[in-house]
């Protein structure tokens, strides 16, 4: 979710700071200025920040922004988009690099309209979501005078340019006989270096697992064969919960091993007056190392699977059945761990 929120944070920061900047000012209607002042006050006090963020966004996205001779780009969203897509050298980014920002802003506008829809449904339409949707529909659909429609038209234009523009090659083969060496964006790369990279990555994963995650404790789940019923669509089922796999029955094995090791427990906390006082910094470091370990595993799965890059699809995959997805992505087929 953070990647979707980032452009919205940039938008709010731009609007909040525009009133205090000498060289960059943004004309805003009185009601929008009031909403921004409420947000600024809540950020200092910490009271009901979420409600004031929603108030600020509805004032930015659920209203018309009319152009004038002195203000050719009145919409703060369009201004933010223009600034976000500037390179460090002052030039504009290529169209294919702009579409991502627009897609994230579109997503957040729709979410804001959905929240406002539910709010108005309860306050004005006696819980009738359909009538509330009819009232708000111009603000999250195309071909209307709304911020959403304006950036949506920019999205169509950028996508059209991106699809019609042929990019120069990133890869040039220098070894046209054995195909073992190439230039990637001007950098010389050989297949020997690629093999070395994968070996180094595996060593890094082992180092993280043995010394950071397990904290030097030599333990493992002992098994010979793992049972997995691919036709079982029960919610929550996976090979980790299958009763035939005895090695996974004790879900607290790692915590129990840590608790029996005094040296490890000194890192996570200490007993004081008969109660455990946790070392928050130690716990956060352990979780950070665990996140790095998962990241390295996912990267290795993507790079060695033989399929095209699908990192965004790989990270949200499920390892067990859910109510909304009865087919899990991680299964065991004989001796093989399989990603579907």
Please say which residue of 164, 199, 231 terminates a domain.
Answer: 164
Same domain? For 209 and 220 the reply is no
The predicted model gives 129-141 an average pLDDT of 95
User: How far is Cα 42 from Cα 50, in angstroms, rounded to an integer?
Assistant: 9
**184 with 333, same domain?**
no
Give yes or no: residues 141 and 199 share one domain.
Answer: no
Check residue 316 and give its pLDDT. Answer: 81
- ∠ CA 285-290-291, rounded to 5°: 95
Asked if 147 and 296 sit in the same domain, the reply is no
- Asked whether residue 208 falls in the same domain as residue 311, the answer is no
Of 147, 164, 181, the last residue of a domain is 164
Same domain, 155 and 32: yes
Q: Do 73 and 158 lie in a common domain?
A: yes
Structure tokens at 315: 């990270």
Last residue of a domain, one of 149, 180, 213: 213
C-alpha separations of 220 from 145, 209, 257, 264, 336 in Å:
61, 11, 11, 17, 18
**Residue that the structure tokens 């007056």 belong to:** 273
Q: Do 284 and 187 fall within a single domain?
A: no
What does the angle CA 316 – CA 320 – CA 321 come to, to the nearest 5 degrees?
100
Residue 283 and residue 145 in one domain: no
**pLDDT tens, position by position, 136-176:** 999 999 999 999 999 999 999 999 999 998 888 889 999 99
Residue 285 lies in domain: 216-339
Same domain? For 268 and 122 the reply is no
Structurally, the chain folds into a number of domains equal to: 3
Confidence of residue 20 (pLDDT cuts 50, 70, 90): low
pLDDT at 1 over 60: no
Specify whether 147 is located in the same domain as 87. Answer: yes
Please state, in angstroms and rounded to a whole number, the distance separating the CA atoms of residues 24 and 275: 56
Q: Model pTM?
A: 0.65
Give the DSSP per-residue string, 236-252.
Answer: T--TTT-TT-GGGS-TT
The pLDDT of residue 32 is 93
Is residue 180 domain-shared with residue 159, that is, in the same domain?
no
């Amino acid at each position: 979710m953070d990647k979707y929120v980032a452009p919205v944070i940039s938008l709010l920061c731009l609007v909040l700071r525009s009133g205090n900047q000498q060289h960059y000012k943004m004309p805003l209607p009185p009601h929008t200025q009031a909403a921004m002042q409420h947000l600024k006050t809540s950020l200092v006090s910490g009271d009901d920040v979420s409600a004031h963020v929603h108030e600020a966004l509805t004032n930015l996205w659920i209203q018309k922004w009319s152009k004038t001779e002195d203000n050719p780009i009145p919409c703060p969203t369009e201004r933010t988009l223009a600034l976000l897509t500037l390179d460090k050298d002052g030039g504009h980014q290529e169209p294919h690099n702009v579409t991502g920002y627009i897609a994230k802003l579109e997503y957040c506008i729709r979410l804001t309209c959905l929240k406002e829809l539910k709010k108005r449904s309860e306050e004005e339409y006696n819980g009738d979501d359909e009538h509330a949707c009819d009232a708000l529909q111009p603000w999250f659909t195309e071909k209307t005078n709304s911020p959403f429609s304006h950036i949506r038209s920019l999205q169509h234009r950028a996508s059209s340019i991106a699809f019609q523009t042929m990019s120069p090659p990133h890869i040039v083969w220098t070894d046209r006989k054995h195909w073992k060496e190439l230039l990637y964006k001007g950098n010389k790369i050989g297949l020997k270096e690629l093999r070395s990279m994968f070996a180094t990555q595996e060593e890094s994963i082992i180092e993280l697992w043995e010394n950071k995650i397990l904290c030097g404790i030599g333990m493992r789940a002992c098994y010979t064969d793992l049972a997995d019923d691919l036709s079982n669509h029960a919610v929550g089922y996976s090979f980790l919960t299958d009763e035939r796999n005895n090695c996974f029955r004790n879900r607290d094995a790692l915590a129990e091993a840590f608790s029996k090791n005094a040296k490890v427990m000194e890192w996570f906390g200490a007993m004081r007056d008969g109660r455990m006082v946790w070392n928050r910094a130690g716990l956060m470091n352990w979780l950070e190392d665990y996140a790095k370990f998962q990241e390295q595993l996912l990267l290795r799965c993507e790079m060695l699977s033989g399929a095209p890059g699908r990192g965004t699809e790989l990270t949200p995959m499920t390892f067990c059945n859910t109510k909304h997805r009865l087919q899990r992505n991680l299964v065991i087929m004989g001796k093989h761990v399989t990603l579907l």
